[in-house]
Amino acid sequence: MSAALWPVPPPFMWSCVTCSTLLDLLNESLLLTDASPTCEQGLYVQIALARHIATDHPQSLPAAHDEDCLICLGYRSRVQDPGGMWAEHRARSLFLPDAFARRL
């Protein structure tokens, strides 16, 4: 995948030791697997990074995606977000291309 499609993570992620460590791990895992964000190791790092952002940086989470995101529509229709999963879903768009960020 072209590097031009990847978003530049916001400054708060570079100043946070956990975020920057997980970004480095994500980069390493993608380099080892032909830059496929769907590789197993990369997937675990994505989940860990999204969970960290949702838990430790909730003020930096992006707003819900547009109406074309079926996952956001599903979360909007629920009374309660199960375990902060919607926050993790939105956090992924800070460091992944939309095509991959919106899969989980």
**Averaged pLDDT for residues 50-62:** 94
Q: Does the pLDDT at position 1 exceed 70?
A: no
Q: Residue 61's pLDDT is what?
A: 92
Q: What band does 98 get if pLDDT is binned at 50, 70 and 90?
A: confident
C-beta pairs of 1-9 under 8 Å, 24+ apart in sequence = 1/35, 1/36, 1/37, 1/97, 5/97, 5/99, 6/95, 6/96, 6/97, 7/93, 7/94, 7/95, 7/96, 7/97, 9/94, 9/95
Amino acid at residue number 8: V
Q: What is the pTM of this model?
A: 0.82
Residue 75 has a CB neighbour count (10 Å cut-off) of: 19
Q: Does the pLDDT at position 90 exceed 70?
A: yes
The three-state secondary structure class of 62 is coil
**What are 15-37's pLDDT values in tens digits?**
999 999 999 998 888 777 655 55
**What are 76-88's pLDDT values in tens digits?**
888 777 668 889 9
Q: Please state, in angstroms and rounded to a whole number, the distance separating the CA atoms of residues 26 and 71.
A: 23
Nearest to 95 by CA among 57, 59, 53: 53
Q: Which residue has the higher pLDDT, 94 or 103?
A: 94
